[in-house]
Structure formats: C-alpha cells, structure tokens
Amino acid sequence: MPLTLATTTPGEPEIFGSLQGEGPSMGKPCAFVRLSRCNLACVWCDTPYTWHFEGDNRPHRGEETYDRKANQLNLSEEDVAARIAALGKPRLIVTGGEPLLQAPALTRMLALLPDMTIEIETNGSVAPPPALDALIHQYNVSPKLAHSGNPADLALVPERLGHWAQEPRAFFKFVVAEPADVEEVLKLAETYAIPASRIYLMAEGTDTGTLEARERWLAELCLSHNLTLSKRLHIQLYGDTRGT
C-alpha cells in the first residue's frame, strides 16, 4: 500500500533533511517526511496544501485552495523509507497533515527504519494503533485550541487528551496567538493533569516579525506558569517555505 505524501513541487515528495524547528527536539538534525490529508482544518494552518484542496469549503484565512494532483503524491513504503535513509540523519520527524490517518502504511514504512529515532507530530485527536505505537520514540502532540476554528468535539477529544497526558513519550505543543489562549491551555492542563514539564507554548505566525512580537509577551507567561517556550526556528532560518 502506498503512502500519500505532500509535495515540495509537483511530482517531488516532501522528504528532506533539516533542523527540527519546534518543541523538545528543536535544533536537532532530522529527516522529515510530510504526509498529506488532515481530519481538522485550522484557519491559520501553515501547511494548507496538505488538505485544503479544490472543493474543500472549510475556512482558511488564506482562502486559497490547492490542486490535489500537484500537491499529493503516492509512493510505496519501500521508496519512502529508502529516500529517508539516504538523508543519513539519526532522527525522523513524521509530520503532516495528520500522520496517524495513514497508520497502517506508516507502520510498515517505519519498520524499515529500525535504527532511527522516530517522532510523530499529531493534532492529538487520532489514536495510534498498537503496532505503530511500538515503533514511536516521541509524540509531539499539538491539540488545537478554540482560535483554530475547529469544533471542540473534533479537536479536543477527552479520551485522547487523557491518554496523551498519561503517555510519557508525549509532549504537548500548543499554538498561541493571544494571551487568552494560554488560559485555555491552563484549563486543559488542569482538567487532564498534563504535567507542566511536558507543555510547550509556541507563538502562531509564519514570519519572524509576528513571531518575535508574540514571543515577547508569551515568554513572560511561560515564566509565570513554569511552562516552556518553543521557538519556530525554521521560520527564522528559512522562512515559510516547503521542504525546510
């Protein structure tokens, strides 16, 4: 069975080497593979080309829709694994879209990379099946707050949040645009007993100026609540571009 990947340009899969830009592994050299399709639709999503295809009426602030054929590519599990291995990096970041939507094929692909440290970036609303879970070293869970525009019953599933809160491999990365968003994070942390040591707050934005302005007040809130600030290092280094 093939995996459905995002593309950097038509016909070229988004498989690349870079420094991890966010969360607990920020700054580490990694291989990345970006899968296509998502079950949620964040209005500020910075990778809408993975889901906001022509005919999709879900709102996105950019309003652009994307041609599916130009922005999706199917590759065999063996081909994807070989391209990742050729990058020669010790750590793999599986991102999206929502990678867990393709769990069976993803499981088979990751089994071909037994020597790599595997991280999955997920919105936290989809459960990983046991066969996949056994291959994962770290989950970067990014539950979507109210300002994402997603209905809470889709984005903030109590059973799933409770599971991730108790999973020591899971780190929570919340996207924050306004100080009120931090209050929502604190309520979720209290409700689901999420350890503060595993919570990262990250400013929403796709340009350095916006990120720096928000990080100034977000840093103070992290300090007040003993939470960790996450940068978006890849935006600073490369801008808002595919394959970085």
34-78 pLDDT, tens digit each: 999 999 999 999 999 999 999 999 999 999 999 999 999 999 999
pTM of the model: 0.97
> Is pLDDT at 1 greater than 90 in this prediction?
no
pLDDT (tens digit per residue) in 144-162:
999 999 999 999 999 999 9
Token pair listed for 17: 């080497």
| Position 88, amino acid | G
Instruction: Grade residue 207 by pLDDT with cuts at 50, 70 and 90.
Output: very high
Per-residue CA distances from 234 to 19, 49, 173, 196, 237 (Å): 7, 18, 16, 25, 5
* Residue the block writes with tokens 């968003």: 181
CATH number of 2-169: 3.20.20
Helices (H), the chain: 68-71, 77-86, 103-110, 130-133, 152-155, 158-166, 179-192, 208-225, 233-238
Report which of 228, 237, 126 is spatially closest to residue 176, judged by C-alpha positions.
228
Residue 235 CA to residue 222 CA, distance in Å, equals 21
